Amino acid sequence: MEGWKISVGSLSEDVLNRLAKMLDNATCGWRQLASAASEQPSLRCSESELTSCSLQVLSATGSPGRTLLARLADRSCSLDFLCHCLRKLDHLEAVQYLTTIEMMRITVQPQSQQAKVGSRVVLSCRAAGPPDLSYQWFRGKEEISDETGCTPELILCPLGPGHQGHYICRVNHGEKCIFSQWVHVRLVDSADSSPGCSSTLFPGSASGLSIIHQPQPQTLSEGDALLLECKAKSNPPAQYEWYRNAEPLSEHKTSSLRIPCVTTAHRGEYRCKVFNFYHEMWSDTATVTVGPTSITDAPWVEAHRGPVSPGSQEIHRSTCGPGMNPLKQRVSQPPTAKRFHATDKVALLIGNMNYLYHTQLCAPIADVHELTNLLRQMDFKVVSLLDLNWQEMHSAVTEFLLLLDKGVYGLLYFAGHGYENYGNSFMVPIDAPASYTSEHCLCVQNILTRMQEKETGLNVFLLDMCRKRNPNDDVIVQPGLLKVTANIVFGYATCVDAEAYEVKRQNVSNGIFINFLKQRVCEDEKVTVMLDRVAEDMGRCVITRGRQALELRSNLSERRCLTDQIQTSECSASFSARNLQWAVAHVLPTSRYLPFDCGVTVQLGYAAEFSNVMVIYTRILEKPADIVSCCAQLSDFPGDVEIDLKKSNQETLLEAGSLLLIKENLPLPEVPSLYSRIRGLQRLRSELTFTVCLHYTYSNMDEEILERKSVTVGKPLVSKLNLHKPRPPRACSSSSSFSLDSFDVPECSSITKDFTSVDSNTWPYHAQSARGSSTNDSAASSSSPNMPEETDCHELGDTLNPPVVSQSFSHSQVDLQ
């Protein structure tokens, strides 16, 4: 059937929504469909795209299945291939539905025409759909009943005055029908119909073709709908072809280009070619920018980041200067510039807020979230973690180093408390004691040394912390030797012996540094050039002028950009292992339906906020008519994870403690949902088990009834990596304590074997959420988590000499209220 060759996007909204409901399940649903569709490379969904689909469950009206179908439609998935995939899944209900619905779609629309008396005019209308379609032509309200009016082509010959007027075609199948567009047939003199000459449609124009509506530039967030329109007056009628970045979009051949659910893959320069038999014209270029869903663009209310030193003052401003204005994100590269590439791109983002013995911070959650989204747009495999203690930070960095290899781009971002002593920068864990020293912290320069041993192509450190001197720490650490690789870039949020500030908005705070960085980080420029522009933007901000300035240190000798493409090396087993690590660490529990004895069905859904933060929602799907009130609440979580009981089982994400989706302005749910936010998944030692408590009341009873069901969902996200377990030490001269020397990346020849079984040493690679767990050197270590034993090996708590630069940047302490 001709209709089966059409794109999935041609299906009606009703059909797609009904199909999506069939796919929103765990056993034979959208995830399995995405896996089956990946046999065609052009239809393969990335992990970030699958995560985006899963996040739809956070909206009461959201549908992961509908979002996946939109992505398949954008990639020109045919209806025939969709049915093929559904048959592979044995999804008989969906296959039967698609094969029995009566789909009709106009594929060729009739076009208005002008012709001379006595000439021959053919109006064509063709439709795709079930067999035995029939056609009816009308002139105005009058049906054309002869045999020429019952075919897809209406032939008017010889053309006479009685043929002039408006025509429409109706396509029928049984009791259903669809109509074509109206067209106009008019008689003209010979001079008017001469090709290449001016006609009455185009007074004063000799082209016979004129664009009357140009496509307009657009700035969108992921998940938004894109609509570009290009309209023309033409004689003969115009045809349309759309192009993105000079590449034709074969599925878009009408005056409107529609993409219902955009992703960052849709960014680019769009143009439309308008042409007819004689002429051709190009529309203006419309730049489409697609960024992640941002937190908010609310005005600045106040700024105060980091503990205020004696004599300093908090900053209160309502607006920033012109430096706050975002600039165009992508800058054209000079055609003569040499392009470099990465063998892979990996980032570790840590945001520490809830300190046990120090000032609480607010901005790291938003900073890490936004930077994660931006880096993922540039194909970075991002590990994002919140609130790690000493052992968890060591584990996180150690496992991060396992992802590095020759030619890999490595990026480390830290937001939280920090300090700088003797040119070395230290990141402070959340469990650092009140009078902490380098022994309780992680040294940035030591991490850098370990990264250099991996022969990485680019090392970028972005440290959003204070760089004040730590009066409690008088130890001068002697770091190890650093290779001269000319590939290091430091971006410090503030200068030496200065603080870094945060800006409080309505519900979310941002660090000053990230607020400017997020406007520039995706620019296709050398990293140092991009950061220089960030520094200039910060310098124009009224809030921080004279208080906080970005400081850069670099020995980068090549034009390396964060936007450089990835070209996997010949040692592809290493690349495969990293992707396997990423996939394992970001698997969410599958949604499930819980039937209760009273006849109520409860849906459980999950979404990842970070690698170690998960949102669980409950929704009542079915209930008997005699039950007047009903809700499902969660309780009895294990003590390993963190959950605020006052904020659990809330009706909105904001009330549940999530600040990341407030811009979405979630609509009032058709079916009430309750949200609970689980933090600290990196500390989960066994399977996650909790209880679903169903509270309901019958219409003839006043007393509330309670039913309970215990649920076990395995080890979600990074908890399954068992990062709390000590790693076996490598042969080393030291006698004890945690050491990065204990953890080496497997050789290329054995890495596939090492990771086929996905053991506890694997680490998340590309995701939003990850789990940090404690890693001690030896099993006999008795030190507290924040006080490692002394060792002769280089520890993360020690300092290393910085690279070519003479100064080092530390991350200022951030004080959020």
First to last CA, the chain: 64
Catalytic-residue membership of 417:
yes
Residue found under tokens 């053991």: 759
Evaluate the CA torsion angle 301, 306, 308, 309 in order and state its sign.
negative
Which residue of the set 466, 561, 631, 793 is catalytic? 466
Pairwise CA distance, residues 412 & 490, whole Å: 10
Count of Cβ atoms closer than 10 Å to residue 612 Cβ: 35
Residue 628 φ then ψ, to 5°: -90, -30
Burial of 370-384, coded b for 16+ CB within 10 Å and e otherwise, reads bbbbbbbbbbbbbbb
Pairwise CA distance, residues 617 & 632, whole Å: 9
How are beta strands 218-221 and 286-291 bridged, if at all? parallel
Q: Which helix (H) or strand (E) holds 630?
A: strand 627-635
Pairwise CA distance, residues 817 & 413, whole Å: 23
**Residue partners of 92: CB distance under 8 A and separation at least 6:** none
Helix (H, G, I), strand (E, B) or coil at 674: strand
State how far the alpha carbon of 301 is from the alpha carbons of 304, 660, 768, 815, in Å: 10, 19, 28, 15
Nearest Cα residue to 349 out of 385, 380, 379: 385
Does residue 759 contact residue 768 with C-beta atoms inside 8 Å? no
Does residue 552 contact residue 481 with C-beta atoms inside 8 Å? no
Tokens for 447? 């991490």
Does residue 374 contact residue 769 with C-beta atoms inside 8 Å? no
Tokens for 140? 């105005």
Does residue 63 contact residue 56 with C-beta atoms inside 8 Å? yes
* Residues present in the chain in total: 817
Pairwise CA distance, residues 263 & 220, whole Å: 9
- Angle of helix 64-74 versus helix 47-54 axis, rounded to 10: 140
Does residue 628 contact residue 698 with C-beta atoms inside 8 Å? yes
Residue 201 φ then ψ, to 5°: -75, -25
Nearest Cα residue to 615 out of 61, 54, 68, 66: 54
Pairwise CA distance, residues 431 & 440, whole Å: 9
Tokens for 107? 């594929």
State how far the alpha carbon of 291 is from the alpha carbons of 66, 149, 382, 388, 530, in Å: 21, 51, 17, 28, 18
Which residue of the set 417, 586, 724, 766 is catalytic? 417
Give the catalytic positions in this structure. Answer: 417, 466
